[in-house]
Amino acid sequence: MKVLVTGSSGFIGGHLARSFTQAGHDVTGIDIRARYPEDARDFFRDDCCAHFDLAVHAAAVVGGRRVVIGSPLDHAQNLEIDAALFAWARRTRPGRVVYFSSSCAYPVRLAKAGRDLREDDITWPPAPGMMPDELYGWTKLTGEFLANTARHDGLSVSIVRPFSVYGPGMAEGFAVRGFARQAQQRADPFEIWGDATQVRDFIHVTDVCGAVAAMAEQGIDGPVNLGTGIGTSLLDLAGMIATAHGYSPQVKVNTGLPAGVPRLVADTTRLHRFYVPAVRLDDYIAAEASRL
């Protein structure tokens, strides 16, 4: 199978490109940070109409909560990249497109309600009072609208909504990596953004790759939540990581820094019909700590 992966030098995109390559597929990676840089927008605007059996779109301006609440120009770039993707897909008609949305597309009101988030919780246009998380959430919601429009035009399109993805190569701006760095430095007190009660659903990047491959193979359109259905507070996450590193620091919360919504946990009913995540967060934390 001939596979295109955008954002192939990034965290998720890099794992996807390697996963498809290891499975024996012919992979073309596009990324501005690659050895031979190429902007996905330039690639999509090219008149070349090479056919791909699968196009996995993971290119975006990323960087954790700072980007979610950050510059509007960052989000404008994401919209531009997504629009270029779907214009290209209409011209070249790949076998299937996988569009990476986000749990930030879910209404903030539901993220405060304390229940797991179901795929059908998102509607277009959003109902009054059911706004997504910051401008970043709006861009992903708009990307999903473009994906659905492309599907109505006859394209095969899968939509995935990853929750808190972790694993080798993740950036410092994400909780698992940032907390691990503090633990390696034996930080005491241990700083947590917000009040530390925020709950997140952590899924390992290899399970994201496995779920995407299964969706492509089985022709599943989605949208599908990519999560474990297990909520972990940032306070508990910090405790798990510090314990794995053999110490018990005090905790310092910083409510002046971006904290995000109170709770983001996936309803995994739809995901479990074809894929069950295999990597446990506590096993990963213990394994990473033991390597030091």
pLDDT block averages, 10 residues each, the chain of length 292: 96 97 97 86 79 94 57 78 95 96 93 91 88 86 96 97 96 89 94 93 98 98 98 97 96 82 96 98 95 76
What is the value of pTM for the model shown?
A: 0.93
- pLDDT of the residue at 76: 82
- pLDDT of the residue at 67: 56
Contact of 175 with 211, CB cutoff 8 Å:
no
- pLDDT of the residue at 54: 98
- pLDDT of the residue at 237: 97
Contact of 261 with 133, CB cutoff 8 Å:
yes
Query: Alpha-carbon distance 245 to 260, whole Å?
Result: 27
- pLDDT of the residue at 270: 98
CB atoms within 10 A of CB 246: 10
| E strand segments, the chain | 2-6, 26-30, 54-57, 97-100, 157-162, 164-166, 190-193, 199-204, 224-226, 231-233, 251-254, 263-264
Looking from the CA of 235 toward its CB, the CA atoms found within 13 Å total: 11
- pLDDT of the residue at 163: 97
Contact of 285 with 241, CB cutoff 8 Å:
yes
Contact of 146 with 101, CB cutoff 8 Å:
no
Task: Give just the sign of the alpha carbon dihedral 123, 125, 129, 134.
Answer: positive
- pLDDT of the residue at 136: 86
Token pair 């940070």 is found at 33
- pLDDT of the residue at 127: 85
- What domains sit in the chain, N to C, each tagged with a CATH number? 2-165+205-228+267-271 (3.40.50.720), 167-198+231-264+280-290 (3.90.25.10)
Token pair 């659905």 is found at 148
Please classify residue 33 by burial: count the beta carbons closer than 10 Å to its beta carbon, then call 0-12 exposed, 13-18 middle and 19+ buried. exposed
